Amino acid sequence: RTVMWVVKPIITKKRDIKGQLSILFVGLVKEGQGIEVLLSFLVKHPDYTLNIIGICRDELFRKYQALIGQYGIGNRVFFPNKFYSDTELESVAKNCHIGVAVYDIGPLNITYYTDPGKVKTYAELGLPIVMSDTSSIAPYVQKFICGEIIEPTEDALERALIRMKKNYTQYCDGLERFIQFFSYKSYYRRSFASLEYRK
């Protein structure tokens, strides 16, 4: 069976949302990761902002910049299209509330077969998670109520974010349970118990 990645303790704990809710996307930026859905969502929801911290091809970056301009949301989208160190990422995340991983669903997407690192990164940054049901980590996000599992559509994203904004403390509490379950010592001890020597 698969042993998944563990997580470090939460770096920054979130408890209050004042004013705009800030969404964070981290990682390699490519098609099939819901960026278009996020940008379209922002058009109708002026009380949200989006931070995209990752690198993409020049052609795709121009496409997203054109959409941002067309939608008139440039003042609410931060997308520098460059690599950020862990320290720089933590600095951005301190002002964010929710991490997103809205992948295309199905076995044609490689994420279907992986334990996506960005989900664990969000957890370590203290950010409840919105993700599509496309990897083995999704049931744990549901189990610990540290996020929402959605279809990769604008309507589903809207419903999830509204629920999370209203019940934010509950999701943060769930995130602490998620972190505790996937902590280094306890998770690996359980996962590799069958390999321990017994007389």
Q: What DSSP line would sit under 123-190, residue for residue?
A: HHTT--EEEES-STTHHHHHHTTSEEEE-SSHHHHHHHHHHHHHTHHHHHHHHHHHHHHTBHHHHHHH
pTM surpassing 0.75? yes
Inter-residue contact 118 to 102 (CB < 8 Å): no
Contact partners, residue 189, CB within 8 Å, separation at least 6: none
**Mind listing the pLDDT tens digit of every residue in the chain (199 residues)?**
444 455 676 766 666 777 889 999 999 898 888 899 999 999 999 999 999 999 999 999 999 999 999 999 999 999 999 999 999 999 999 999 999 998 866 555 555 445 567 898 999 999 999 999 877 889 999 999 999 999 989 999 999 999 999 999 999 999 999 988 887 665 444 444 444 444 4
